[in-house]
Chains A and B, each alone.
Chain A
Amino acid sequence: MTRDPFKFLDAYSLEDADLFYGREREIEDLYSNVFQSRLLLLYGASGTGKTSLVQCGLANSFHERDWLPIHVRYDKGLLLALDAAIEKRAKTRPKPGASLSQRLASLYLDHFKPVQLIFDQFEELFTRGDEAEREAFALAIAEVLAPDSEASEVRVLLIVREEYLAACTPMEWILPELFANRQRLERMGRTAAERAIVEPCRVCGVEVKEELASEILDRLGARGPGLGGPSGTAGIELTYLQVVLDKLYKRALAASPDRPELKHEDLDALGSLDNILGDFLTEQLGAMPDAMAPTAEAILKSMVTTEGTKKPMRLEELLEELPGLECEAERAAVLDALGRLVAVRILREKDDAGGYELRHDALAGKIFERMSAMEKDLLEIVARLESRLREYEKDGDLLDATMLRRAAPFAPRLGFKPKLAKLIEDSQREAKKRLRRRRMVLGGLVALAFVVLAGFTAWNVRERNEAKRQEGIAKANETKAMEQEARAMEQEQKANANAEEARAREQDAKRSLAEIAKIYATEGNKARDHHDFGSALLRYRASLDLLENQAARIGAAETMTKSRPERAVLRGHSDSVEAFAITPDGRTIASISEKEKIVHLWDSVNGKELAAQGCRISKCLWLPFLCKNDSSFNFSVYAVQYF
């Protein structure tokens, strides 16, 4: 029996160096690029053979003493997977709390080989991880690649599908050299593809009919999806080529186990190669027992991401997820189906921990095409919920109302995932609690508003009543004030009347006094007429005492003139006197000497000086105070002269 020259949907590995053809130049470039800098990005379309290029081509370029490849695939997280991969290869237990760089440095010292971290299917960080995880990963790698890092003997190789290249861009902020050293793996060209068909067959002793390789490539390129890269570059999709070659080889082997030969007839018998992978899938599922096929299909569907890429699953995870795809298979049935899918090379056992995955992303794409819209929606909602579940487990963030609404139609089909179901249940409970709390708060607010309103109303009523009371009081006060005003007016009138009366009385009194003064004056006149000048003056004096009386004053003056009483000698002046004056009441006489500049005041009755020495004056003044009108003054002067 000959050795199988083809790998079907598996990647070439270290042991397949003698079967791996058509990528010599790319291997050379990759090997050179690994030495260009410590970070290398290898990208290309799905089905270009990136993994084979690294696992076989690059691995065989290194001497085993110069390379410690650490293959890392996303599991529960990329950094977790890296930790696990390091731990698996470490011989020395790192110190507690050792950083990633320290653990890698220790790993180097365990092996003394430059460590090559290989992150295959790096796009899983974008399809399965979240932004926080991507940032954490970039920071961790930046720390490892830092010039002063303890892990100076560590290189990093990221293998990513080219459609996720743009998604890598945000990481460039943390890893500026992310795109500096990169290599694009293009679809295999025709010449190289012919070598990839013919050379492995030669190594394994499998005959290839002349021109068969060319015809296979023609048929794949002519009608199949194998031709034309994403940028329009012609090339062969190796996945499809491998499936075709495998089918041809199996037929050749069946025909002649000792000397298998790839023939044109077998190629013709394959029919159309347009959907060779889809047909292969249908064929394999169709060949399964009726009871197994639905379980197998459900298994396959659960191993696809919303982007149509493969997603590794463990048995326990499958058992959880299958009911969501309306598959109620028992554990044993699932195991049987898994075994069958592995046997027909649709699935591969990923690791020792019971993990399975589709053999190639191209298969995932075909399975995705077979899914109903409902199943795709379910897949998407599960993916979203799982992402939120990670957040919940990390930060305790529950689902928001929008997510719960989205998940609601799928709730009956999500019960199969206890963690998701619990997340939904917790979120719903929390949402209800929130609603209840909101209602309570709202009720409280309404009650508070009511209380406030009621209080305000009561206060308003009270204020209104108070206002009314105040209004009553004001009105009463107003009335009282009006009454008081009236009373005041009355009293004022009374007062005015009294005042009038008083004035009248005063007038009367004045009139009486005037009358009396008049009588005294008259009697003074009579006495004067009788030349009783003394009595006349006394009467006049009495009259003047009672009232300022012009008649009495004139009478008195005339009397004094007529009576010619004994002259009094007013002694005091040493020089001539220029003027005399007499006060209106006639009691005081003023004499003025201009030369002496002095005024002397005399008692008109007894002729005694009132102020000794007199009063010095600066100049002679006529004494205006004696009388306001000239006549009385003149009269007074006249009277004094006589005096």
Chain B
Amino acid sequence: MSVNDDLFLPVFHELVRYKPQLAAHLAANYDEEADPRLLAREVVFSFPWPIGVELRRLLTDGVDTPNRDRLDQILKTIERTCQFLAFVLLAQLLEEVLDRGEAILPESFRKNFNNYFGRLSLGCLNWLIQSAGEVLSASGIEPFVPEMAAKLSKDFYKRLAPWTPIRNEISHYLVSLDAEQIEDRCVEYQEGLTDLLKELAFLVKYPLASVTDIKVAKSKRRPASYRHQIKDLNNFIKDEGSRARAYEKFMDSPAVLLLKGFKNAPDNYLNLSPLIIDTHPEIRDSRDKGPKIKKDIFLFSKFENGRIFYTGVEVAEKKECDLRGLSWYGQLVEEMTEYFTILGTGVQS
């Protein structure tokens, strides 16, 4: 039994509660044990892709034994999970404030927002999760993901809080851990990650989708239909053509959305743009337009001097990616400015 089995098997069993069809992998052959690799794969593909990619990396060669790389990867997975949670809560909060007015925002939140949101770290993310969660709870607003309501509690925030100092300690260049310490911490942090993933297993119920294009179909004497090209980023299979779905209403495009299901999706979705974006729809047909934009899912990382920097989920970049060449980059900047303006104190010139 590999070290990953202790992480992925319990999480898999928890996922089955929310996605019962996964149980088929357990019952595939009664006379054989389920292939733990397949169960791990399902965990990877069931979580929203930004989290799934980090989970996949935990399974790769060199990271599948307790060592420094694994330790870093565990913490990175935790950070990525927090980042996703924070983005979901912030995206909802922005919509709620726009709907209900700024009165629901405490002044302390507005004052500190720019500091925490402008340059994201694990500590900032935890602050954002807690603060946004508290605003929603205080205002009696049900989170977009209803199961999250139970998590937006002091206990949950308490469980998240220690990860920041741990992360800071581990990533500090002066801190040197010996092999035994690393192994111990790997076991300890892995348990923490396992618990966190089990707690957030309900996420697998909510499709993370990328709407890459919308086309209007209007026939004579018939209502208009909106054909959405949608990629499912939970079961994200690279290069699989996006699937066309027709709705009577339209959603946002290009945008990464959190849905409550594909049926009647336009009635209930949360647009995560510009916090999470998908560059797959970008068509770069000429060199004159600058270097090619890598096709990936990107997570907002920092906003500096009017520029948004992103971190690719899969593409390896030494620094944050500069996506200024993206054709809808201007729109992303506008949307980002809106966050700072509505939830914070505005963009510093």
B177-210 CB mask vs A (1 if < 8 Å, else 0) is: 0000000000000000000000000000000000
Residues of B within 8 A of A384 (CB): none
Within 8 A of B (CB), among A38-64: 38, 61-64
* Bound: A64/B293 CA distance, A: 21
**A179 contacts B by Cβ under 8 Å:** no
Residues of A within 8 A of B56 (CB): 112
* Bound: A66/B73 CA distance, A: 13
Most buried by B among A28, A35, A61, A64: A35
Cβ 8 A contact of B296, one of A33, A35, A37, A110:
A35
Q: Does B237 contact A32, Cβ atoms closer than 8 Å?
A: no
**Which are the 5 A-B pairs with shortest beta-carbon distances?**
A112-B59, A32-B292, A109-B37, A63-B316, A35-B295
* A109: nearest chain-B partner, CB-CB: B37
Known: A35-B294, A64-B62. 9 other contacts (CB 8 A): A28-B291, A32-B293, A32-B295, A37-B239, A65-B62, A65-B63, A110-B37, A147-B240, A147-B241
B21-59 CB mask vs A (1 if < 8 Å, else 0) is: 000000000000001011011001000000000001101
Q: Does B238 contact A65, Cβ atoms closer than 8 Å?
A: no
* B64: nearest chain-A partner, CB-CB: A112
* Bound: A130/B130 CA distance, A: 65
* Bound: A92/B40 CA distance, A: 15
Q: Known contacts being A37-B239, A112-B60, is A61 close to B316, with CB within 8 Å?
A: yes
Q: Does B62 contact A109, Cβ atoms closer than 8 Å?
A: no
Residues of B within 8 A of A109 (CB): 35, 37-38, 40-41
Q: Known contacts being A112-B40, A113-B61, is A62 close to B293, with CB within 8 Å?
A: no
* Bound: A619/B314 CA distance, A: 140
Cβ 8 A contact of A65, one of B60, B237, B293:
B60
* Bound: A38/B239 CA distance, A: 6
* Bound: A155/B238 CA distance, A: 9
Residues of A within 8 A of B40 (CB): 109, 112
* A108: nearest chain-B partner, CB-CB: B41
Q: Known contacts being A62-B316, A66-B314, A92-B37, is A38 close to B292, with CB within 8 Å?
A: no
Residues of B within 8 A of A25 (CB): 291
* Bound: A25/B240 CA distance, A: 27
Most buried by A among B60, B240, B241, B293: B60
Q: Does B59 contact A152, Cβ atoms closer than 8 Å?
A: no
How many contacts A-B (CB < 8 Å)? 64
B111-152 CB mask vs A (1 if < 8 Å, else 0) is: 000000000000000000000000000000000000000000
**B315 contacts A by Cβ under 8 Å:** yes
A480-504 CB mask vs B (1 if < 8 Å, else 0) is: 0000000000000000000000000
Q: Does B38 contact A152, Cβ atoms closer than 8 Å?
A: no
Q: How far is the CB of A27 from chain B (nearest CB, A)?
A: 11
* A105: nearest chain-B partner, CB-CB: B41
* Bound: A82/B260 CA distance, A: 43
**A153 contacts B by Cβ under 8 Å:** yes
Q: Does A38 contact B238, Cβ atoms closer than 8 Å?
A: yes
Chain B: number of interface residues, binned into ranges: 20 to 34
* Bound: A37/B241 CA distance, A: 10
Cβ 8 A contact of A152, one of B238, B241, B293:
B238
* Bound: A63/B296 CA distance, A: 15
Residues of B within 8 A of A63 (CB): 316
Within 8 A of A (CB), among B217-273: 237-241
Q: Known contacts being A32-B292, A66-B316, is A113 close to B60, with CB within 8 Å?
A: yes
* B54: nearest chain-A partner, CB-CB: A65
**A215 contacts B by Cβ under 8 Å:** no
Residues of A within 8 A of B295 (CB): 32, 35-36
* Bound: A63/B35 CA distance, A: 27
Q: Does A153 contact B316, Cβ atoms closer than 8 Å?
A: no
Residues of B within 8 A of A152 (CB): 237-238, 240
Q: Known contacts being A66-B316, A152-B240, is A111 close to B61, with CB within 8 Å?
A: yes
* A106: nearest chain-B partner, CB-CB: B37
Q: How far is the CB of A592 from chain B (nearest CB, A)?
A: 114
* B41: nearest chain-A partner, CB-CB: A109
Sample of 18 A–B contacts (CB below 8 Å):
A29-B291, A29-B292, A31-B294, A32-B291, A35-B314, A38-B238, A61-B316, A62-B316, A64-B60, A66-B314, A112-B40, A112-B57, A113-B61, A147-B240, A147-B241, A153-B237, A153-B238, A155-B238
Residues of B within 8 A of A92 (CB): 37
* Bound: A36/B315 CA distance, A: 12
Cβ 8 A contact of B57, one of A29, A33, A62, A65:
A65
**A114 contacts B by Cβ under 8 Å:** yes
Within 8 A of B (CB), among A148-176: 152-153, 155
Residues of B within 8 A of A113 (CB): 60-61
Within 8 A of B (CB), among A285-335: none
Q: How far is the CB of A128 from chain B (nearest CB, A)?
A: 30
Cβ 8 A contact of A35, one of B41, B57, B315:
B315
* Bound: A113/B64 CA distance, A: 12
A406-444 CB mask vs B (1 if < 8 Å, else 0) is: 000000000000000000000000000000000000000
Residues of A within 8 A of B44 (CB): 112
Residues of A within 8 A of B291 (CB): 25, 28-29, 32
Residues of A within 8 A of B315 (CB): 31, 35
Residues of A within 8 A of B57 (CB): 65-66, 112
A60-86 CB mask vs B (1 if < 8 Å, else 0) is: 011111100000000000000000000
* Bound: A93/B345 CA distance, A: 59
